Amino acid sequence: MIDALIIGAGPVGLSMAIGLTRQGLNYRIIDMGTGPVPESRAIGIQARTLEMLEMAGVVEPFIEQGHPLRGFILHGPEGRQLGSLSFEHIKSRYPFILALPQNDTERILTEHLRRLGVQVERLTKLLSFRQDQDQVTAQIQRPDGGIEDVTCQWLLGCDGIHSRVREVLALQFPGKTYDLRFILADCHAEMELSDDHAHGFAHRTSLVAIFPLGHARHRLVAADPPACFDWQRKPTLAEWQELVDARASVPIRLSEPKWTTFFRVQCRLVDRLKRGRVFVLGDAAHVHSPALAQGMNTGMQDAWNLGWKLGLVRKGLAKPELLDSFEAERLPVERRVLDITDFTQNVVGATDRFRQAARDLLAPLFTRSVAVQRRISLIVSELGVNYHDSPIVEDHHLPHGPKAGQRAPDAIVAGRDGMPVHLMPLLGRNHVLLTVDADLSSPALKEIAQDYAGIVDVQALTIDAAGTSVYGNTPAFYLIRPDGHVAFRCGAQHPELLRAYLGRMLAVAGVSQLQHA
């Protein structure tokens, strides 16, 4: 019996596989397709996802091949700028949205898995599954048409909006489909607008937006295309040029059109993310407007949240109830994403004159505010995602630094040889106990490090010359989860609080207290 069977090898399934590999689990990943999708599809990778990829040890090829977008500009009639959003307020080493087509994202992740010794089983289809208290038995169809029964501890549904896993579980998927239709295309574009910003044009007819992808490639998106754009055929370059000429307030010359597709936006969310030993993640669980580039990122972070929890439970280092926290933590996040993208869809893509006038009047006022810019950047980058209300986090007040449940910001720590290194790449596998101005030689801390060796890595924060850090300078303990969120914090004068928390959550030295609880 294997530990897990992953259904779907899109960005979410591949991220799930990388997470399980880092936990040392034995799994299989299957997909109905022949390889990475041929289309560009999702093109925006947010700062928090880039941090996740850094924890996974695979961020470099993304940065090398992607194109950073450092803001968004909304243009009005006659070239007037209605408002702009700068990503300079994103407090991360990745203060931008990385534009990279989804097929490249899938290719990079697939190649990384291959280097780790993992092969995606292509042209392989999930037919059905059944589960009991101890295992899941899935029936799959191999490329040769043969049927195989696969027994696993958990089945992970990363199989998209038409999810077979969600269908077999009979999960509700309530929501709505917007009346507005969209069309997108990938093409080359010549324009005098900045290449490191996305641009939207608020026309009285409807919106058109252009997103630079690097190497003279661009993504065009138009809401409510004219009637000449027939759903049954691919629009011509001349028709696209006519649309852009009509709606854009600056000259844009198009050439070399590639992929084009129509779509309607849906806004849906499952009622459950987990049923027994089966989970749904990504588009199998939630789908919404592409506004703000949240969908793929939210799904990849679903996988990063779940992977380390499966690892601890499978190794007997945590109680099975830890897996319930996946739904408790991620479902509220997904609800907020749906609300935010729904609001943005209705405001930016307004089609009636009243809402267009309100948008055009208020956009300049709001985007001039630094506070508003920072707030929007926090939302868009997904750095603001937190688990404050999670049943598995615990906070003891400190005057400064991230609270339990919040993202753990990057910092400089003293590495194994005493040389300063970044914290972020040290995350992703074990918990990290970050000590701030604490006595590393104290018996209590030494005992914790010894008892939880191989489960918790102890790192000392390096405080800068000014005596400050993003974690404050008060003697403190921050326990950071493998997914890069703060699990626990307290003052360094109370190691007994840390010891008690670890005792409730993790097994001492990988043994017994959980098994006998």
Q: Residue 500 has what pLDDT?
A: 96
- Rounded distance between C-alpha atoms, residue 34 and residue 127, angstroms: 18
Kindly state whether residues 330 and 445 are assigned to the same domain: no
Q: Residue 81 has what pLDDT?
A: 84
Q: Residue 468 has what pLDDT?
A: 64
pLDDT per residue of the chain (517 residues) written in tens, 0 to 9: 999 999 999 999 999 999 999 999 999 999 999 999 888 899 999 999 999 999 999 999 999 999 999 999 988 877 778 888 999 999 999 999 999 999 999 999 999 999 999 999 999 999 999 999 999 999 999 999 999 999 999 999 999 999 999 999 999 999 998 877 888 999 999 999 999 999 999 877 678 999 999 988 999 998 888 877 777 778 888 989 999 999 999 999 999 988 888 888 889 999 999 999 999 999 999 998 887 889 999 999 999 999 999 999 999 999 999 999 999 999 999 999 988 888 776 666 555 665 566 556 566 656 678 888 999 899 999 999 999 999 999 999 999 999 999 999 999 998 777 788 999 999 999 999 999 999 888 999 999 999 999 999 999 998 765 556 899 989 999 999 999 999 999 999 999 999 999 999 997 644 434 433 3
Give the containing element (helix H, strand E) for 219: strand 217-223
Kindly state whether residues 283 and 237 are assigned to the same domain: no
CA atoms 51, 52, 56, 59: torsion sign? negative
The last residue of a domain, from among 348, 365, 382: 348
Domain limits for position 214:
176-265
Q: Is residue 61 part of a domain?
A: no
Q: Residue 511 has what pLDDT?
A: 42
Lookup: tokens for 473: 């300078």
pTM above 0.85, yes or no: yes
User: Read out DSSP for 279-321?
Assistant: EE-GGGTEE---TTS-HHHHHHHHHHHHHHHHHHHHTTSS-GG
Kindly state whether residues 305 and 167 are assigned to the same domain: yes
Q: Residue 261 has what pLDDT?
A: 87
| pLDDT tens-place string over residues 274-302 | 999 999 999 999 998 887 889 999 999 99
Q: Is residue 145 part of a domain?
A: yes
Q: Residue 360 has what pLDDT?
A: 63
Give the number of domains in the chain.
3
Kindly state whether residues 438 and 457 are assigned to the same domain: yes
The last residue of a domain, from among 209, 240, 265: 265
Lookup: tokens for 424: 């972020």
- Rounded distance between C-alpha atoms, residue 410 and residue 484, angstroms: 9
Q: Is residue 199 part of a domain?
A: yes
Look up the CATH number of the domain holding residue 292.
3.50.50.60
Kindly state whether residues 416 and 474 are assigned to the same domain: yes
Q: Residue 356 has what pLDDT?
A: 61
Give the containing element (helix H, strand E) for 469: none
Kindly state whether residues 34 and 130 are assigned to the same domain: yes
Q: Is residue 365 part of a domain?
A: no
Asked if 495 contacts 446 with a C-beta cutoff of 8 angstroms, the reply is no
Kindly state whether residues 342 and 476 are assigned to the same domain: no
Kindly state whether residues 169 and 180 are assigned to the same domain: no
Q: Is residue 84 part of a domain?
A: no
The dihedrals phi and psi of 399, each to the nearest 5 degrees, come to -70, -25
Q: Is residue 51 part of a domain?
A: no
| pLDDT tens-place string over residues 301-328 | 999 999 999 999 999 999 999 999 999 9
The last residue of a domain, from among 230, 250, 265: 265
Pairing of strands 71-75, 81-86: antiparallel
Kindly state whether residues 241 and 285 are assigned to the same domain: no
Look up the CATH number of the domain holding residue 190.
3.30.9.10
Q: Is residue 67 part of a domain?
A: no
Q: Residue 83 has what pLDDT?
A: 85
Asked if 329 contacts 406 with a C-beta cutoff of 8 angstroms, the reply is no
Lookup: tokens for 333: 């996040």
User: How many residues comprise the chain?
Assistant: 517
Kindly state whether residues 8 and 145 are assigned to the same domain: yes
Kindly state whether residues 34 and 129 are assigned to the same domain: yes
Kindly state whether residues 153 and 209 are assigned to the same domain: no
Asked if 186 contacts 40 with a C-beta cutoff of 8 angstroms, the reply is yes
Q: Is residue 94 part of a domain?
A: no
Q: Residue 164 has what pLDDT?
A: 98
